[in-house]
């Protein structure tokens, strides 16, 4: 299951494009990946004090559809196929020792809906504030389903 920048994967949730650079959120912690390849060691939850999701966003609920339509129109008018790729953004992981890791990630063409990005950040920080909620990551489809419903119904998640 996929919604906004979050995708349910085996054992957790991928943040950003899970077939490219992304962050994997698991009950054990956070890992940086390029597709299925691990780029960094797992950062345990006990070392993390915050996560900031820095992805392009729009107030338009379907920015990918708008971007795809725009690319199709440009291709039609110019007669040339443009290379459509997801741009690089970042997710900042703040650690207890006052270090900040800025991890590059790739995102969907056109970016994401602003509310989806905001709620994704709140959800991730909720796993920091309430360690007991990390067990929900064993059922990532359910987490994404609840996140998607809250986002669609214009509910702002809270980490309290």
**pLDDT digits (tens), the chain, 160 positions:** 989 899 999 999 999 888 888 999 999 999 999 989 999 999 999 999 999 998 876 655 555 555 556 555 656 666 665 554 455 688 999 999 999 999 988 876 566 778 888 899 999 999 999 999 999 999 999 999 999 998 887 655 554 4
In a domain, 158, yes or no: no
In a domain, 9, yes or no: yes
In a domain, 159, yes or no: no
In a domain, 27, yes or no: yes
In a domain, 160, yes or no: no
Per the structure, how many domains does the chain have?
1
Q: Please give the C-alpha separations between residue 101 and each of 90, 91, 108, 113, 128, in angstroms, as whole numbers.
A: 10, 8, 22, 24, 16
In a domain, 34, yes or no: yes
- The structure's pTM equals 0.78
In a domain, 112, yes or no: yes
Count of CB atoms situated within 10 Å of the CB of 103: 23
In a domain, 157, yes or no: no
Backbone angles phi, psi at 138, to 5 degrees: -70, -15
Tokens 């991890």, located at residue: 103
Domain that holds residue 57: 2-152
Number of H helices, E strands in the chain: 3, 12
């Amino acid at each position: 299951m996929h919604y906004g920048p979050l995708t349910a994967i085996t054992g957790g949730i991928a943040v950003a494009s899970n077939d490219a650079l992304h962050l994997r959120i698991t009950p054990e912690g956070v890992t940086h990946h390029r597709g299925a390849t691990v780029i960094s060691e797992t950062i345990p939850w006990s070392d993390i004090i915050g996560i900031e999701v820095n992805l392009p966003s729009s107030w338009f609920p379907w920015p990918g559809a708008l971007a795809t339509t725009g690319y199709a129109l440009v291709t039609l008018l110019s007669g040339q196929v443009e290379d459509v790729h997801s741009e690089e953004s970042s997710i900042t992981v703040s650690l207890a020792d006052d270090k900040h890791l800025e991890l590059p990630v790739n995102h969907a063409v056109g970016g994401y809906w602003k509310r989806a990005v905001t709620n994704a950040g709140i959800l991730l920080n909720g796993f920091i504030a309430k360690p007991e909620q990390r067990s929900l990551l064993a059922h990532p489809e359910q987490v994404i389903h609840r996140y998607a419903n809250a986002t669609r119904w214009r509910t702002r998640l809270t980490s309290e």
